[in-house]
Amino acid sequence: MTSIRTRAGLLARTAIAAGCCLVLSSAVVGAALLLVAVPVYAGTRYGVETLSSPAFRPDTDAGLLAEPLAGAFVVAIAVTCLVAVELSLRTVRTARERGAPAGALAQGAVELASYVLLLSSLLLALAVLPFLRSTLPEPAFALLVLFGSFYLLTVGYAWAAHEWLRSRDADDERTTGGGYLVIGVFAVGYLSAAYWSGFGWLVVVALGWLVLGSVLAPDHVDRVRDAVERRAAESAEEEPVDPDDVYGFTDEVERIRARLRRARGPRPAVLAAVGALVVLGGGYWAATRVSTGALAASLAAVSAVSLVGVHAGGAIRAEFAGDTAVLRELEGRFDLEALAAGEPADRTVGASGPADAEPTRSSLASVVTRLAGQADLPAPEIRVLERDTPVALTVGYRPAASTLVLSRGLIETLERRELEAVVAHELAHVANRDAAVLTALSAPGAVARLSRSRYGYNPVVAPLAASVRLASRWYVALVARGREYAADDGAVAITGDPAALAGALETLDDDLERRPTTDLRERDTAAAFAIVPPPWEEHPFFDRTRRFVARTIFGTHPPTKTRVDRLRTRV
């Protein structure tokens, strides 16, 4: 009866967490769609109305362009700008993955997009305020307005500047030229708002030149980029970045063209020409049949679905291809070394065990393979974390595509029997599908954290990502706490040695008490996969409340002592 009740409770927790994960992911996607659609809609409508307005030709009643031609022209410009932003995002992401400085032009386009999102969020807030005022009680509405004002004044500007400066460290591949281009974007925005709206076309023309120039004259674009970097470095009295080290916009365009050339099908130039004709022809056809508002709304919807769909689809594809967000986050912050069977031994595994029981580092793969066979599982890929803190975790959606991560500290701290017990515990997570469930539930939080490391600070994305990580921590912890006991039982079933697992838990818990508190498992996306919880550091203020929040609300593991006592009773 107890087992049935436990299984039912675990199933209920999993269902609640899955529902929360689905709602959270849907809310994030919906917010992203709105944030992208609003500026596209406003820009398209403004552009068509401006070009077809008689204001440009006061001597006649006709505008600069007929409305259908203006619609086709604005649609083509909007698509070009969106392509420039998307390629810039890809450039910055690829540069950071390669550990190279991103080009100033790509950085400027990404920063421009981030502050367009900020403007979009303000427009959405202004549109929603009348509805909220009519539905919320007066005190609640006043608090909401106060909070919004606080965000705009403090977070949106002071905190944004602070975070931007903090992000310019060794891990953030920014260049001085990128910062100067951001200042230029702000200057153009100010001139557009204060003097003449036509200044805004400078940004549009620059984005169009960036795309067309990278295709038609990449050397010219690179020369402009290098000149911006050189002038910015001279003004800041810094050493200019080496152009050969920079991964720029034209490099990303060439990478895409090379992939298209390798693929079967039309040549890249033919695809580009066909795409341009489709955009121009489709824009003209739509402008002759629908109103300007409908045209702007349609383009906004298609653009938002395309951009968000590309990024969301890429994240989902990477997850199920085995490149999970949790693993990418670990790889981004720590050295994860693949361990292959037959690898030369340069260290010992279980070095504190008996001399005749010391397997070499290369034999770790054999140990994992043997235990996986006993559990009737395919052997997972093994990654060694170059970290002294003892860590063991398993991620992956399928047993055949799981990855076991063991830290150097754990391998060298535990005896062989204890190490085998820990590996068996992680394999039990795979057999029980815990690794798949927790990997899926942790994905939104991991992707939110990766958004900062990939694209830098964004005044809209950062608060949204923080909210996603907080919610993700709660429902992941809700499920993770109930699965540790089952994994302990599974490890005992595989090894038949409960004392070894109890000894391993005690050793790891004692060892962590001596380690610095800033260890890997304090990260919310990885804590659920660790084998023991991080040690508690007492605080001078509100320690009991903090401990309740950390251990009860966001805690991913039962108390280690309880688990050890439970295993001791089975010896």
**263 and 389 housed in the same domain:** no
For the stretch 301-345, pLDDT in tens is 999 999 888 888 888 887 777 777 777 777 766 666 655 444 443
Q: Which of 297, 321, 345 is the last residue of a domain?
A: 321
Average pLDDT for residues 7-27, to the nearest whole number?
A: 84
Q: How confident is the model at residue 226 (pLDDT cuts 50, 70, 90)?
A: confident
- How many other β-carbons are positioned within 10 Å of the β-carbon of residue 367? 18
Residue 540 buriedness (CB in 10 A; 0-12 / 13-18 / 19+): exposed
Provide the domain count of the chain: 2
Instruction: Determine the distance from the C-alpha atom of residue 212 to the mean position of all C-alpha atoms in its chain, rounded to a whole number.
Output: 29
**330 and 262 housed in the same domain:** no
Which residues share a beta bridge with 381?
Answer: 403
More reliable by pLDDT, 149 or 159? 149
Q: What confidence score (pLDDT) does residue 344 get?
A: 42
* Cα separation, 293 vs 271, whole angstroms: 30
15 domain residue, yes or no: no
* Cα separation, 569 vs 556, whole angstroms: 23
153 domain residue, yes or no: yes
* Cα separation, 448 vs 232, whole angstroms: 32
Residue 247 DSSP label: B
For the stretch 130-147, pLDDT in tens is 888 888 888 888 888 887
**280 and 355 housed in the same domain:** no
Which among 175, 524, 525 is positioned nearest to 167, based on CA atoms?
A: 175
Instruction: Determine the distance from the C-alpha atom of residue 6 to the mean position of all C-alpha atoms in its chain, rounded to a whole number.
Output: 34
Average pLDDT for residues 378-386, to the nearest whole number?
A: 85
* Cα separation, 184 vs 1, whole angstroms: 69
* Cα separation, 268 vs 259, whole angstroms: 9
Q: Which residues have C-beta within 8 Å of that of residue 79, sequence separation ≥ 6?
A: 279, 303
**299 and 351 housed in the same domain:** no
For the stretch 252-308, pLDDT in tens is 988 888 887 777 766 767 777 777 788 888 888 888 888 888 989 999 999 999 988
For the stretch 356-377, pLDDT in tens is 344 445 578 888 888 988 888 9
Q: What confidence score (pLDDT) does residue 432 get?
A: 86
**316 and 331 housed in the same domain:** no
Query: Would you say the C-alpha torsion 449, 455, 459, 464 has a positive or negative sign?
Result: negative
524 domain residue, yes or no: yes
552 domain residue, yes or no: yes
66 domain residue, yes or no: yes
Q: What confidence score (pLDDT) does residue 304 get?
A: 92
How far CA 346 is from CA of 316, 359, 365, in Å, comes to 37, 11, 14
**252 and 369 housed in the same domain:** no
* Cα separation, 37 vs 303, whole angstroms: 7
Contact 332, 450 (CB under 8 A): yes
Torsion of CA 484, 489, 491, 493, to 10 degrees: -160
- How many other β-carbons are positioned within 10 Å of the β-carbon of residue 564? 19
Whether 412 is catalytic:
no
Residue 534 DSSP label: P
Q: What confidence score (pLDDT) does residue 536 get?
A: 59
**309 and 380 housed in the same domain:** no
Q: Which of 321, 349, 372 is the last residue of a domain?
A: 321
6 domain residue, yes or no: no
- Mean pLDDT in the chain? 77
How far CA 60 is from CA of 52, 54, 84, 292, 443, in Å, comes to 12, 7, 36, 21, 59
More reliable by pLDDT, 170 or 113? 113
Residue 541 DSSP label: S
Catalytic residue among 173, 426, 484, 506: 426
Q: Which residues have C-beta within 8 Å of that of residue 75, sequence separation ≥ 6?
A: 44, 279, 280, 282, 283, 286, 287, 295, 299
Cα-flanking dihedrals φ and ψ of residue 63, to 5°? -85, -175
166 domain residue, yes or no: yes
Least confident segment among 159-168, 306-315, 469-478, 561-570: 159-168
Helix (H, G, I), strand (E, B) or coil at 214: helix
Helix (H, G, I), strand (E, B) or coil at 341: coil
Average pLDDT for residues 504-522, to the nearest whole number?
A: 64
Q: What confidence score (pLDDT) does residue 517 get?
A: 47
For the stretch 531-542, pLDDT in tens is 666 665 666 666
**78 and 226 housed in the same domain:** yes
- DSSP labels for 48-77? HHHHTSGGG-TTSSS-SS-HHHHHHHHHHH
Q: What confidence score (pLDDT) does residue 167 get?
A: 55
Q: Which residues have C-beta within 8 Å of that of residue 364, sequence separation ≥ 6?
A: 339, 349, 382, 406, 411
Contact 530, 465 (CB under 8 A): no
Q: What confidence score (pLDDT) does residue 544 get?
A: 66
**294 and 365 housed in the same domain:** no
* Cα separation, 80 vs 212, whole angstroms: 9
Q: Which of 321, 349, 380 is the last residue of a domain?
A: 321
- b/e for 103-124, b at 16 or more Cβ within 10 A? bbbbbbbbbbbbbbbbebbebe
For the stretch 198-207, pLDDT in tens is 777 788 888 8
For the stretch 233-253, pLDDT in tens is 777 677 777 888 888 889 998
- How many other β-carbons are positioned within 10 Å of the β-carbon of residue 131? 9
20 domain residue, yes or no: no
**377 and 398 housed in the same domain:** yes
**347 and 289 housed in the same domain:** no
Least confident segment among 7-11, 79-83, 133-137, 515-519: 515-519
Confidence check: pLDDT of 72 > 50: yes
Domain that holds residue 507: 326-568
Residue 423 DSSP label: H
**405 and 291 housed in the same domain:** no
Q: What confidence score (pLDDT) does residue 540 get?
A: 66
For the stretch 534-565, pLDDT in tens is 665 666 666 667 666 666 666 677 777 888 88
Q: What confidence score (pLDDT) does residue 387 get?
A: 75
